[in-house]
Structure 1
Amino acid sequence: MQLGSLRQLTLVSFVVVLVPLALLVGYSQIKLSEIGQIATYEAEYSVNTVRRVSKMEGLSVDIERLVRQYHIVKKDALKPLIGKSTQRFTEFQIPVCDQLLEKRNCSSLTERVIWINQYSGTEDQLLIDAQLAEFKQNLSDLSAQVDHSLDQRIQDQQIYVSSVRQTQFWLTACFLGASFLLIALGSKAILKPVSRLERIITAISKQEESLPPISTSGPKELIVLEQKLHQLAGRLIQLENLRHALLRHASHELKTPLASIKEGCSLLTEQVVGPLNADQEEVLSLLNSSTDRLNLLIVQLLDYNLLLQQAKPVFSKIDTKNLFDEFVTDNSLAIKQHDNQVEMKIELPTIFADQKLFRRILDNLVSNAIAHGSRGRPINIRLYQQGNMQILDFANRGQKIAMEQRHALFQPFSRGEGVRNDRVTGSGLGLSIVADCARMMFGKAEIVDVDYADVCIRVQIPSKEASI
C-alpha cells in the first residue's frame, strides 16, 4: 500500500502496532469472562448440592423417627407422613445423584427408601434397626462422595485456571514480541525517508559532487523536502562558484594596478624623477604602507580562494623533519626581521595529513605570531600525539586574548583588538584559513591556555585510524 503522507504512515504504523495488543486484550476479556461464568456456576452448584445433602440428612432423621413410631404405635396416620418424607428425600436425592459418576451409593440408598415406603410394621426390631442403619450408612457414604466430587471439581477448576494463565503468559509474550517487531518495522519505515534527508544534508555539507537521487516513493511531504534540498544545493553551488569567481577576478584585477602603483612608489622613493622634500617623503611613506597592506590583503584573498576551491583533502604520511625544515627556511627572513626565535619540539616522525593544507596552517600561524607577538621573544612549536589526535601547539608571547573573543577570531574577516607589529590592518583571514584547513582534515583549531606562553593556538587533526 502506498501511503501519501507522513501523517498517514505514522497513523497506520500506530494502528498496526496496536493490533496485537488489541487481540491480547480481547482474548483476556473472553477468558476472564469464561472463568467468571465457571466460578459463578460452580459456586451455585456447590451451594445447592451442599444444601440438598443437608436437607437429606435432616429428612433422614425425620424418616427414622417416623418409622420407629409407626413400628411401636402402629397408627395408619404415620404412613402418609413417612411417604411424604421419603418423597421429599427422593426429590433432593435425584439432582445430587445425577451429578455423580459412581451410582452405587445412590442405588443402595434408593433401595433403602423403597423398603421404608413398603414397610408394613410387621418386621421385627432387628430388621428395622439393620435397615435404618444401612440407610444412615448409605447417606453418610453419599455425603462423603459428594464432598469428594466437590473437591475434584475445585481441583479441575484450579487446573483449568492454571492452564489459562500459562496460555495467557505465552500469548502475552508472543503478542508483545509481535508488537515490538511491528514497532521496529514502523520506526524503520518512518525513519527511512528521514535518513534519506540526512544523507542529502550530509552531502550538501560536505560539498559532494552528486547528491542522492530524489525518492520516487514515500511520504509526499518528505519528497517535496528532498526536491527543495536539491534546489538549495544547486543554488549553493551557484553562489559558491560566484564567490570563487568574484574573489579570483577581484584579486587578479587588483594586482595589475597595484604593481604599477608599487613601481611608481619605488621610483619616487629612489628619487629617479627628482628630489623630494620632507612632506613628500612622508606622503610617499604612507603610500608605500598602504600598498603593502593592499598587497597583503590580495595575497590572503588569493590564498583563501585557493582553499575554498580545494574540494577534498589528500591524506598522506608526511615526514615532519623535512616539512618543518622547509617551513623554517621559507619564513626565516620574516622571523629574523622581528628578532624572534623558533623553539620546536617535534615528537612525531611522521604526520598523517594533507601536506598543502598543513603547510598553509603553519604559514598562517607563523604570520599571525610575527604580526601580533612580542618582538625578540621565542615562538614555541610542539607536535605530539594525544589519543587518536595529532596535536600542533603554536604559541607566542604577547597580548593575551580574552575568552569571549577567541571563537570569533576564527571567523572570516574577523580581527582582534590588538595592533599588528607592522602597523598594517589585517584582513582577518589568517586564523579563519587555519580553522578551515583543520576542518577540511576533519579536525579543529582553538585557542587554549598554556603556562609557558601568552597565546597558544592548538590544531587537532585525527590520525589515520581515527579519520578512516
Structure 2
Amino acid sequence: MRLGSLRQLTLASFVLALVPLIALLWQSQNDLAKVGQMTSVETRYVVNVVGLMQQLDEASIDLERALRQYAIIQNETVAELSDNAIVQFIDALKAICETLPQSSTCSTLKKDITQLKTFRNIDDTMLLSAYLNSLSNNVSAMRQDVDTAIQQRLAIQQEDLNAMQAKQAWSTAMLVSVSLLLILLGSQLIVNPVKKLKLIIRMLARQQGELPPLSTHAPSELIGVEKDLHWLSDRLQQLEHIRTALLRHAAHELKTPLASIKEGCSLLSENVVGELNTQQVEVLSLLTSSTQRLNTLVEKLLDYNLLLQQAQPTFTDVDPNQMVKDCLEDYALALQDREVTVDIRTSSIVVDEELYRRILDNLISNAVAHGAIGRPINLSIYQKDGNTVLDVANRGKRIAPDAVKRLFEPFTRGDDPRNDNVIGTGLGLSIVSDCAKLMHGDVSVVDVEDADVCFRVTIPREVKQ
C-alpha cells in the first residue's frame, strides 16, 4: 500500500488525532448535561419535600390550636374549625407520604389523626394532651425522615457524580492515549522515510555497501527524493569507476613504454651497442633524467589510485624516527644536491602507517622542490590537545592567501617553478589532504616564526569508529 502525498498524510494524521478528542468532548458534554439534569431533579425534590414538611408543620400547629380551643370553648364553630384543621393535616400528610413512601411514620400519624377525629367525645384534657403530644412527636419524627431522605438522595447523587468523574477520568486517559498513539503512528510514517534518507546520504558519503531498496510505505515526495538519491548513487559510481579506470589505465599504459625506454637507456649507458662519444653521453644523461622524472610522475598517479581504493585506515603504534629516516633516504641525493639539511623532532604516534608515510613523502618532496637552496627544512611530530601534529616547514617564497584555498585540490599546480625542473601533476598535496581525511584529520598552511611556508597535518589520537 502506497501512502499519499506528505500534505495528505499530515492532514490525515491530524484528523485522526482529533477524532478521540472530539469523542472526549462529546462525552464530556453528555456528562455535563446529565449532571445538570440530576442537579435540577434533586433541587426540585428537596424544595418540594421541604415545602410539604412545612405545610405539615403548619397544619399540625393549626390542628393543635383548634383542638385546645375546642377543649375550652366547646362550641360548634370551633368544632368546625377543628374539622377543617384535621382535613388540612390529612391532606398535608397524604402529600408528604406520597413523596416519602418508605417512611414508617406515616402510619403512626394516621393512627394519631384517627384518634383526634373523635375530639368531640374526649372530655379528659389530659388524654387530649397526650394525643396532641404524640402527634407532635410523630411530626418531629417525620421531619427526621425528611432529613434522612434528603441526605440519602444527596449521597446517591454524590456516588453518581463520583462514578461519572471516574468514568470521565478513564475516558480522558484512554482517549488521550489513543490520540498520542495516532500522533506517534502518523509521525512515524514520516520519520521512518526521513531516517532512511539520512542513512542513504551517509552511505553515499562513506561509499559503504549497496543502498536499501526503494520504500513503498512512504509519502510520494519522500519516495521521489529517495529515487533521486538512488540515481545520484548510480551516477557517482559511474564517475568513480571512470576516474579510477582512467588513472589505472593511464598509469599502466605509461609504465610499459617507460620500461622500454629505461631498458634502452641502460643498454646505451653500459656500452652494449658500442662506445658513446661525449655528446652522445650527454644526450643519454638528459634522456635518463627525463625518464626518471617521468617514472616519478607515473608513481604519483599509481599512488593516488591506491589512495582512492583504500576504504578504512588501520591505526597502530608507529616509530616516527624510522619512518622519517626511510622517507629521507629516498630524497638523499636531492637534499645533497641542494645542500639542504632536515631538522627533525619527533614523538610517539598512533596512525595508519601507509597513509602517514604517503603524507611524509609528499610534504618532504614539496619542501625539497619549492624550498630555498641551502636553507634547512624543519620536520616536527608532536602531541597537542589530544592530536598528533606534523609540521613540515621550509624557507622560500611564501604562498599567496588566495592560492591556499585551491592548493589541496587534485591536479592543481602552483604558479611558482620547482627547483628540480620537474613538471608536477598537482596530486601531491591532494594526496596529503585525502590521507589526512581518511584518518579523520586535516591539513592546512600555517604561519610560523622560523619558516616561510609550513604545512600542518593534524590527526586525532582517539578516533570514533
1:396 to 393, 397, 411: 393
2:354, 2:72 → 1: CA distance?
A: 135
- The AA in structure 2 aligned to 1:272 is Q
1:278 corresponds in structure 2 to none
* Aligned position for 2:379: 380
Letter in 2 for 1:35: V
Corresponding residue for residue 430 of structure 2? 432
Report how far residue 84 of structure 1 moved. Answer: 4.3
Equivalents in 1 of 2:156, 2:181: separation in Å? 37
Query: Given residue 66 of structure 1, which amino acid in structure 2 is its aligned partner?
Result: A
462 and 197 in structure 1: CA distance in 2 versus 1, 3 angstrom threshold = farther
The alpha carbon displacement at 1:445 in A equals 0.1
Q: In the TM superposition, what is the alpha-carbon distance from 1:82 to its structure 2 partner?
A: 1.6
SS at 1:343 equivalent: strand
CA shift, 1:125, in A, is 1.8
1:379 counterpart letter in structure 2: N
**Cα pair distance change 1:123/1:345, threshold 3 Å:** farther
Letter in 1 for 2:147: D
Matches within 5 A, 1:338-353: 339-348=340-349, 351-353=350-352
Counterpart in the other structure of 1:282: none
C-alpha displacement of 1:456: 5.2
Cα distance, 1:143 vs. partner? 1.6
Distance in 2 separating the partners of 1:126 and 1:356: 130
1:2–1:218 Cα contact (<8 Å) kept: yes
Partner of 1:42: 42
Distance 1:294 1:113 in 2: 139
Q: Over residues 376-435 of structure 1, what are the superposed CA-to-partner deviations in whole Å (9 max), with x where a residue is unaligned?
A: 345232254865xx6233242668889987665444456789887779886654333222
Identify which range, 328-337 or 144-153, moves more after superposition: 328-337
Q: Structure 1's 456 and 145: CA in aligned 2 closer, same or farther, altered over 3 A? A: farther
The corresponding residue for 1:195 is 195
Write out aligned runs for 1:179-190 (5 A).
179-190=179-190
Q: Partner of 2:356: helix, strand, or coil? A: helix
Contact 1:438 1:461 in 2 (8 A): no
User: 1: CA distance between counterparts of 2:400 and 2:143?
Assistant: 101
Output the CA distance in 1 between the equivalents of 2:127 and 2:389. 123
User: Aligned pair in 2 of structure 1 residues 78, 274: CA closer, same or farther (>3 Å)?
Assistant: closer
Contact 2:341 2:376 in 1 (8 A): yes
Q: CA deviation at 1:439?
A: 2.4
Q: Distance in 2 between matches of 1:194 and 1:317?
A: 38
- C-alpha change, 1:50 and 1:372, in structure 2 (3 Å) is farther
Say if 2:247 and 2:301, in contact at 8 Å, map to a contact too.
Answer: yes
Indicate conservation of the 8 Å contact 1:193/1:222, yes or no. Answer: yes
Aligned partner of residue 457 in structure 2, secondary structure:
strand
> In 1, Cα distance between the equivalents of 2:447 and 2:391?
11
Task: Find the partner of 1:272 among 261, 279, 282.
Answer: 279
SS state of the match for residue 119, structure 2? Answer: coil
| Cα distance in 2 for residues equivalent to 1:368 and 1:121 | 144
The secondary structure found in structure 2 opposite 1:272 is: helix
Q: Deviations over 1:42-91 (max 9, x none)?
A: 22222222222223223322222222233333224414532442244225
* C-alpha distance in structure 2 between counterparts of 1:78 and 1:220, whole Å: 95
* SS at structure 2 position matched to 1:71: helix
**% identity of equivalent residues:** 36
Structure 2 partner of 1:97: 100
Aligned residues of 2:52 and 2:92 also touching (Cα < 8 A): no
Q: Is the 8 A contact 1:86 1:117 kept in 2?
A: no
Q: Residue 20 of structure 2 contacts residue 179 of structure 2 at CA under 8 Å; is this kept in 1?
A: yes
SS of corresponding position for 2:381: strand
Could you tell me how far apart the structure 2 residues matched to 1:392 and 1:120 are?
129
Aligned to 1:113: 113
Q: Cα distance 1:306–1:45, how it changes in 2: closer, same or farther (>3 A)?
A: same
Is 1:85 the counterpart of 2:92 in the alignment? no
Aligned residues, how many?
439
TM-score, normalised to structure 2, is 0.75
Superposed, 1:17-56 pairs within 5 Å as 17-56=17-56
Do 1:82 and 1:117's aligned partners in 2 also have CA atoms closer than 8 Å?
A: no
Is the CA contact (8 Å cut-off) linking 2:436 and 2:457 kept in structure 1?
A: no
Change (3 A) 1:379 1:174: farther
For residue 71 of structure 1, what is the amino acid of its counterpart?
Answer: A
Distance 1:123 1:330, change over 3 A: farther
Corresponding residue SS for 2:279: coil
Query: What SS does the aligned partner of 1:120 have?
Result: helix
Moved more, 290-299 or 88-97: 290-299
Contact 2:388–2:458 (CA under 8 A) maintained in structure 1: yes
Structure 1 residues 36 and 401: alpha-carbon distance in aligned structure 2, compared to 1, 3 A threshold: farther
Partners of 2:407 and 2:414 within 8 A in 1: yes
Unaligned runs of at least 5 residues, structure 2: 266-276
TM-score, normalised via structure 1 length:
0.75
Partners of 1:404 and 1:433 in 2: CA distance: 20
Distance in structure 2 (CA, Å) of the matches to 1:6 and 1:318: 52
Q: CA RMSD in A?
A: 4.4
Quick check: 1:66–1:81 contact (8 Å CA) kept in 2?
Answer: no
When residues 436 and 122 of structure 1 are mapped into structure 2, their CA distance, relative to the original with a 3 A threshold, is same
**2:237 paired residue number:** 237
Q: Distance in 1 between matches of 2:188 and 2:402?
A: 43
Compute the displacement of 1:33 (Å): 2.9
Displacement of 1:327 after TM fit?
2.3
Matched, 1:155 2:160: no
Q: Which amino acid in 2 is paired with 1:439?
A: K
Q: What is the deviation of 1:316? A: 5.7
Q: CA deviation at 1:4?
A: 4.4
Secondary structure of 1:376's partner? coil
1:195-226 C-alpha deviation (Å, 9 max, x unpaired): 33333333322234533223455444444443
Q: Is the 8 A contact 2:393 2:455 kept in 1?
A: yes
Q: Deviations over 1:136-156 (max 9, x none)?
A: 222222222322332333334
Residues 1-31 of structure 1 show CA distances to partners (whole Å, capped at 9, x for unaligned) of 6534444444444444444444444443333
The 3-state SS of whatever aligns with 1:447 is strand
SS at the partner of 1:63? helix
